[in-house]
């Protein structure tokens, strides 16, 4: 069985899309997926970037595109009442459900709950009443599994999120969703066919994966 790590932040509509279609992309392969929530804003800061929703023209396009992608691929996706928003409460809620044997991971059910909270219904992702309702659902999930629950604002949960984000940075991740298979990073919803091709042993990965990225820089713009 092969391992894939799916790094995500529920703030990303592309993470929602990729999560929904991932089982289809992996169909027929023996794969274990580890879902790891990370703070997307930390990747942006480390790489000196703005998020798509922080660039006015790109923001408009992003919302139009993801709405169309949901429609095109049959994935339910309704834009939240406000975006971007602070995803920390959701990230910490997810990692409150992590177990001691996988302290940085959310299982597929928990991951789905986080993403649906944002991208289903067109509601406010940060509404305190909705967050409280989500917490109740997740606490019940852990109780049914007879697993311990850690408070979202506890040091252990905060450390889990820091560790996941530091791990993502050490791998050179710059965006979400990012799927890592045997050291190769596949970024974005549109990378799912490429990920599947890699699983299927496409010879391109032996001949082109490394060489395609080996290009000298012709010019570099000065940083503002």
CA distances from 28 to 31, 196, 199, 200 (A): 9, 10, 10, 10
pLDDT classification of 114: cutoffs 50, 70, 90: very high
Angle, helix 13-26 to helix 108-119, in steps of 10 degrees: 140
Work out the percent of the chain whose per-residue pLDDT is above 70.
Answer: 99
Residue 3 has pLDDT above 70, yes or no: yes
- pLDDT, average across residues 132-156: 96
Residue 224 has pLDDT above 70, yes or no: no
pLDDT classification of 53: cutoffs 50, 70, 90: confident
Work out the percent of the chain whose per-residue pLDDT is above 90.
Answer: 89
Q: What's the pLDDT tens digit per position in 180-208? A: 999 999 999 999 999 999 999 999 999 99
pLDDT for 157 equals 97
pLDDT for 139 equals 97
Residue 164 has pLDDT above 70, yes or no: yes
Residue 222 has pLDDT above 90, yes or no: no
Residue 24 has pLDDT above 70, yes or no: yes
**Average pLDDT across the chain, whole number:** 95
What pairs with residue 106 in β-bridges? 35
Backbone φ and ψ for 209, nearest 5 degrees, come out as: -55, -50
- pLDDT, average across residues 23-50: 95
Domain covering 2-201 in this structure, CATH number:
3.40.30.10
- d(CA 41, CA 173) in angstroms, rounded, equals 12
pLDDT for 218 equals 86
Which parts of 75-205 are beta strand (E)? 178-181, 184-187
Query: Residue 47 is encoded by which pair of tokens?
Result: 């790489």
Residue 221 has pLDDT above 70, yes or no: yes
Residue 49 has pLDDT above 80, yes or no: yes
- d(CA 7, CA 5) in angstroms, rounded, equals 6
CA distances from 75 to 11, 17, 21, 88, 190 (A): 17, 7, 8, 25, 14
Residue 151 has pLDDT above 70, yes or no: yes
Q: What is the pTM of this model?
A: 0.96
207: left (phi over 0), alpha (psi -120 to 50) or beta: alpha
pLDDT for 132 equals 98
User: Does residue 34 contact residue 177 with C-beta atoms inside 8 Å?
Assistant: no
pLDDT classification of 88: cutoffs 50, 70, 90: very high
Domain ranges of the chain: 2-201
């Amino acid at each position: 069985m092969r391992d894939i790590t799916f790094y995500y932040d529920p703030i990303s509509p592309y993470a929602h899309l990729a999560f929904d279609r991932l089982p289809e992309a992996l169909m027929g392969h023996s794969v274990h997926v580890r879902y790891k929530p990370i703070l997307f804003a930390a990747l942006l800061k480390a790489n000196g970037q703005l998020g798509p929703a922080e660039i006015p023209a790109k923001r408009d396009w992003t919302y139009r595109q993801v709405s169309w992608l949901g429609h095109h691929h049959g994935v339910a996706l309704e834009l939240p009442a406000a975006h971007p928003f602070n995803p920390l409460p959701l990230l910490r809620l997810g990692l409150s459900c992590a177990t001691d044997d996988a302290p940085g991971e959310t299982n597929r059910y928990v991951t789905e709950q986080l993403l649906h909270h944002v991208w289903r219904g067109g509601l406010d992702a940060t509404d305190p009443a909705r967050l409280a309702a989500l917490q109740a659902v997740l606490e019940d999930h852990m109780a049914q599994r007879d697993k311990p629950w850690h408070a979202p604002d506890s040091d252990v949960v905060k450390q889990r999120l820091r560790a996941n984000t530091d791990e993502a940075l050490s791998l050179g991740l710059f965006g979400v969703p990012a799927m890592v298979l045997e050291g190769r990073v596949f970024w974005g919803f549109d990378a799912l066919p490429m990920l599947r091709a890699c699983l299927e042993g496409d010879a391109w990965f032996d001949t082109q994966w490394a060489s395609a990225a080996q290009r000298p820089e012709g010019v570099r713009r000065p940083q503002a």
